[in-house]
Chains A and B, each alone.
Chain A
């Protein structure tokens, strides 16, 4: 189980940049298609909000790959 946890970390690391790329591509495409202020605001908000989350996903993946989740803390002493 621990090795599945570890190696699926690679998947979460890849998912981060993939999500950023898809988001940026779609945002640019939609803004070019309909260059209104409304469109720019909407997609600007999405990019602003979801990019840090995607980076969080990459960090999560990195921790998983390093085996940080092999053992979860059982008391606050471990945190």
Chain B
């Protein structure tokens, strides 16, 4: 082995891991604040005529951020295999930081009209491209410095960054939301008006620090050695995907590992939170702090499983994680549904109803909306907001008085028809025991994430040769994680609107994808650790 390609000493590898991980974590932070703020961004950048359409538009933008990731993998992967790892993932960091900061500066739809969503969409595309180039570079860079017998352990630190980026994004959002005014309600109001920009703007400071650290890093020893010998690839895309011997490994990496890993990752960390907030209607803060606690306690397991994979191989840890996820998703989410079903809880307990607030009023000259909200408090500590509403169509052109029975409103026109009265429950606050039970169940899902994700960087690095490693491992990773995984909350939510009879129908998407991946992984993936990645 060339001296230049000797793995770095253990002391310096921590510097390498620190600089690589910090930058990657900031990129994930930048990427996730957009997703975490989707409902707020919907009101800022998309027409308000239909809130659902606005939310879907934002989610679509979110999805665009994921769909372009494979293209970023191709563009920057190629660059990383030709120019080098260091400068490529420095460039991705600059692009990501710049576009995130710029999102925080875009005027709202109310100010500049359709330019607002168009600019946001373009910036989101840049974010997706940059992220597509980042991960493969960081994982390759660390792996090419790591000693062979501890490659899983050292690369698992890079694997913690996605989860920690999400953690920090949630923490910054919550902290900002509650610190803009001493009055909590006013603080939230300010956050939704302009405070949401702060998490985006803060990013520039973090990126600045990370750029400084990365500038001080050296090129990967294995890549430098190849470059010195003139053995770098001249056309990494052709060599990665045009040659059958490598293409078959790319396909195996995608269908036998990353596709299942992606859906497990996004179900445990994104769909769980989205489900608690949108399907179970749990209070904004609680649905996020549940995830924060779960992430906090589960994150060390990335390192545990990464390290363990150095001893027992990567394959079976990842496959076990997928199997456990497939088997337990429906029971876990059924608990979420059962424990937050207010209609059932109200039947079995003496509920205290606080003074109702009447929000009724005329929509226009012939439509009257009856709406009343009441805060319900249950003996165990659970509380929720009940909203009863219906729309009354009034007889046009006639005058007179009519008492409608629901809230005894005085209407000045006779009633023509009344829509079906609807009752909804929202802003549910969980009692302490249920709160921690939910945190435990999300924690369990994130442990599955650590099993499938902890060893995967080392697994991917070992599959491909140095000269086309960046390109070859980035594409399957970003199709698996970005496309299959990133679209999980979106597709799962969409399924619940198509098949309305089953609240858990959305889980069939991650379950089926993970099951196919599990079968392919068990059959075709090797458990052998490739000690020598210098070739």
B229 contacts A by Cβ under 8 Å: no
Q: Do A64 and B524 have beta carbons less than 8 Å apart?
A: yes
> Given contacts A42-B56, A42-B60, A73-B245, are A5 and B524 in contact (CB under 8 A)?
yes
Choice from A15, A53, A63 contacting B248 with Cβ under 8 Å: A63
Q: Do A38 and B53 have beta carbons less than 8 Å apart?
A: yes
Q: Do B520 and A12 have beta carbons less than 8 Å apart?
A: yes
Best-surrounded residue of A1, A5, A42, A75 (most CB of chain B within 10 A): A42
Once bound together, how far apart are the Cα atoms of A69 and B524, in whole Å? 7
Q: Do B67 and A49 have beta carbons less than 8 Å apart?
A: yes
> Which of B7-15, B176-184, B525-533 lies on the face that meets chain A?
B525-533
> Given contacts A42-B494, A56-B254, A69-B524, are A77 and B248 in contact (CB under 8 A)?
no
A55 to chain B, nearest CB (A): 11
A51 to chain B, nearest CB (A): 12
A59 contacts B by Cβ under 8 Å: yes
Once bound together, how far apart are the Cα atoms of A26 and B130, in whole Å? 32
Task: Fill in one digit per residue for B482-505: 1 if any A CB lies within 8 Å of its CB, else 0.
Answer: 010001000100100010000000
Q: How many residues on the A side are at the interface (Cβ–Cβ under 8 A)?
A: 33
Taking chain A's interface residues, is the majority helix, strand, or loop, or is none over half, making it mixed? Answer: helix
Once bound together, how far apart are the Cα atoms of A26 and B491, in whole Å? 12
Task: Fill in one digit per residue for A24-60: 1 if any B CB lies within 8 Å of its CB, else 0.
Answer: 0010001000001010011001100110010011011
B366 contacts A by Cβ under 8 Å: no
A58 to chain B, nearest CB (A): 10
Once bound together, how far apart are the Cα atoms of A42 and B255, in whole Å? 24
Q: Name the residue of chain A whose CB is nearest to the CB of B484.
A: A53
Once bound together, how far apart are the Cα atoms of A23 and B498, in whole Å? 14
Q: Do A38 and B530 have beta carbons less than 8 Å apart?
A: no
> Given contacts A75-B535, A79-B246, are A53 and B483 in contact (CB under 8 A)?
yes
Name the A residues within 8 Å of B464 (CB-CB).
Answer: 76, 79
How many A-B pairs have beta carbons closer than 8 Å: the answer is 74
Name the A residues within 8 Å of B53 (CB-CB).
Answer: 36, 38
Q: Name the residue of chain B whose CB is nearest to the CB of A75.
A: B535
Q: Do B479 and A59 have beta carbons less than 8 Å apart?
A: no
Q: How many residues on the B side are at the interface (Cβ–Cβ under 8 A)?
A: 37
Choice from A26, A36, A41, A60 contacting B252 with Cβ under 8 Å: A60
Q: Name the residue of chain A whose CB is nearest to the CB of B534.
A: A76
B523 contacts A by Cβ under 8 Å: yes
Q: Name the residue of chain B whose CB is nearest to the CB of A33.
A: B498
Once bound together, how far apart are the Cα atoms of A74 and B530, in whole Å? 7
Choice from B243, B251, B519 contacting A60 with Cβ under 8 Å: B251
> Given contacts A38-B53, A56-B254, A60-B255, are A5 and B523 in contact (CB under 8 A)?
yes
B399 contacts A by Cβ under 8 Å: no
Choice from A56, A59, A72 contacting B526 with Cβ under 8 Å: A72
B298 to chain A, nearest CB (A): 29
Task: Fill in one digit per residue for B53-88: 1 if any A CB lies within 8 Å of its CB, else 0.
Answer: 100110010011001000000000000000000000
A72 to chain B, nearest CB (A): 5
Name the A residues within 8 Å of B247 (CB-CB).
Answer: 59
Q: Name the residue of chain A whose CB is nearest to the CB of B259.
A: A53
Once bound together, how far apart are the Cα atoms of A26 and B499, in whole Å? 12
Name the B residues within 8 Å of A57 (CB-CB).
Answer: 255
Q: Do A45 and B67 have beta carbons less than 8 Å apart?
A: yes
Name the A residues within 8 Å of B519 (CB-CB).
Answer: 8
Taking CB atoms and an 8 Å cut-off, the chain B residues in 238-285 that contact chain A are 243-249, 251-252, 254-255
A27 to chain B, nearest CB (A): 11
Q: Do A68 and B520 have beta carbons less than 8 Å apart?
A: no
Name the B residues within 8 Å of A41 (CB-CB).
Answer: 60
Once bound together, how far apart are the Cα atoms of A38 and B64, in whole Å? 14
Name the B residues within 8 Å of A1 (CB-CB).
Answer: 523
Choice from B63, B246, B523, B535 contacting A77 with Cβ under 8 Å: B535
> Given contacts A8-B523, A42-B60, A53-B483, are A68 and B244 in contact (CB under 8 A)?
yes
Once bound together, how far apart are the Cα atoms of A46 and B385, in whole Å? 36
Choice from B57, B251, B466 contacting A59 with Cβ under 8 Å: B251
Q: Give the interface of B toward A (CB within 8 A).
A: 53, 56-57, 60, 63-64, 67, 243-249, 251-252, 254-255, 464-466, 479, 483, 487, 491, 494, 498, 516, 519-520, 523-524, 526, 528, 530, 532, 535
10 more A-B residue pairs beyond the given contacts A45-B67, A63-B244, A79-B243, with a C-beta to C-beta distance below 8 A: A5-B524, A12-B255, A59-B251, A60-B251, A63-B248, A69-B248, A73-B245, A74-B528, A75-B532, A79-B249
List 27 contacting pairs A-B, 8 Å CB cutoff, sorted by A: A4-B523, A5-B523, A5-B524, A12-B520, A30-B498, A36-B53, A38-B53, A38-B56, A42-B56, A42-B60, A45-B60, A45-B63, A46-B487, A49-B67, A50-B483, A53-B479, A56-B254, A63-B248, A69-B524, A72-B524, A73-B249, A74-B528, A74-B530, A75-B530, A75-B532, A77-B535, A79-B249
